Amino acid sequence: MTEHLTALLSLAWLLWIALVAVGLILERRSPAATLAWLLALLFMPYFGFLVYLLFGPRRLRRRRLRYGRARDRLIQSTHRLRQDRAALTGFSDARLERQLALLLERLGQGAPMPAIRVTPLETGDACFQAIEAAIEAATHHVHLEYYMWRPDRVGTRLRDLLIEKARAGVEVRLLLDAIGSDRTSNRFLRPLRDAGGMTAWFNPIGLHRLRLRYVNFRTHRKIVVCDGRTGFTGGINVSDTHSASWGGVDAWRDTHLRIEGEPVHRLQFIFLEDWYFATDHAPFAPEFFPDDPQAADGAWSQVVESGPDNNRHAIAKFYFAAIAGARRRIALATPYFVPNEALTAALATAALRGVEVRVLAPKRSDSRLVTAAARSYYDELAGAGVHIYEYGPAMLHAKLLVVDECIAAVGSANFDNRSLTLNFEVMAVFYDTGLATRLADSFATDLRFASRYVRPGRRATFGQRLGEATARLLSPLL
């Protein structure tokens, strides 16, 4: 009897594994990712299956009908988010700027819009000061969306400022990721709600609601919108780790942007979509997309969103097209450098055809696994002529791409599979020589605090080489 029961359970387990394998194959991921998951399930059947439940499923059922209704109502509520091809007339057909702008427009990201003013913020303290000043000046609403908000000194100070604005009658909406901001409790946010502010959690996790399979699908976006006129986005979270006032020389190095003008409407649009998803309701009034009387003759910009709710992967496609189209120079800064095959080939090919390619990554990121996986790519790229620099000892957290010093992109997306396919991200792309040159100069300054990786100058032990090679096997899952 026991033998029959064991055989029956074994058969049931094999059938279950087969069904999961079929589901994996039907998801049509990259072959490498599919094989990685199949091997994990085969050689680690119990642990692998648990990991698959937590991190495996790719398709987030985002209640698409409701999300679509929100998008339709938002579009109807504002004529400012129009699809206007006239913006492309300033670019020559042969120029990379026009090609990239057209690519993003066809991926549903809208046409380029002129900003009134764009200000790079290259330290956490400068960023927090600028955000606090914009919040203090707000008279109608303040919208904030963050992956990480810590209840530390920076987080508490910003929360208390929001409480003051809510008490003054300003509409305050704060959307936080349920995993990235796991240290921020409802108790910490209660004073803001008591003052009239609104808070929500993006994609909360709960065993009782069978949401463990949504561990992957996080909002990694950093968005602040004040009165629909001033916006912020980039890589800086709300945390003491970004502040030199509290972290000293160990403060994370990052890049953020303060934006005024029409591109802010796109940030508003993205925020309201996410707010609607999290709460089932969102404001649709035109006053959230106000006309600005100032002349918008600044940098042309497209604000790009991507996420697992669709398979367009606009940010990944932009990275590939921008790198593949570069003619002179590429500067790429990222805290997590785990490129897929296409992006690896794009970087190597650009270097081989004579483009100066410089990649800046942290010497030690906050994830040993990601650091090991990143280093497994260095020899291949360095052999093709890519110049790789390791920043440190402070953590580099900036996400920056500058191409030919005429195109620049800053946002929340890392150069890895998680950001490009599994998380909800946002990035601001600018077609402006002045801004691109300024960000390129900032990148050059960062190189002074980095050491160049020269192949085969690094003498790694067998254990290090084995660890890096093993981490690379997991790169499709990172």
pLDDT score of 208:
42
Using DSSP, state whether 334 is helix, strand or coil: coil
**CA distance linking residue 113 with residue 460, whole number of Å:** 48
Strands 415-416 and 171-177: unpaired
pLDDT band at 473 (very low <50, low <70, confident <90, very high): low
The model's pTM: 0.85
Closest CA to 267 of 225, 207, 218: 225
Residue 460 has pLDDT above 80, yes or no: no
Poorest-pLDDT segment among 95-104, 350-359, 447-456 = 447-456
Mean pLDDT computed over 305-324 = 93
The pLDDT tens digits for 83-120 are 444 455 556 655 899 999 999 999 999 999 999 999 99
Looking at residue 83, what is its pLDDT?
45
Q: What is the pLDDT of residue 155?
A: 96
C-alpha span between 468 and 383 (Å, rounded): 17
Return the active site residues. 220, 222, 227, 397, 399, 404
Residue written as token pair 């796109």: 266
In this prediction, residue 210 carries a pLDDT of 44
| Between residues 349 and 30, the one the model is more confident about | 349
The mean pLDDT of 298-302, rounded to a whole number, is 91
Structure tokens at 290: 């106000």
- Please report the pLDDT score of residue 389 as a whole number: 97
Per-residue pLDDT, averaged over 189-198, amounts to 97
pLDDT greater than 80 at residue 229: yes
Contacts 24+ apart (CB under 8 A), 413-416: 413/220, 413/306, 413/315, 414/334, 414/335, 414/336, 415/319, 415/332, 415/334, 415/336, 415/337, 415/338, 415/339, 415/343, 416/334, 416/336, 416/337, 416/338, 416/339, 416/370, 416/475, 416/478
The closest of 160, 167, 163, 212 to 53, measured between CA atoms, is 212
Strand 329-333 and strand 400-403: the pairing is: antiparallel
Query: For position 472, what pLDDT does the model report?
Result: 60
* DSSP for residue 318: H
3-state secondary structure of 430: strand
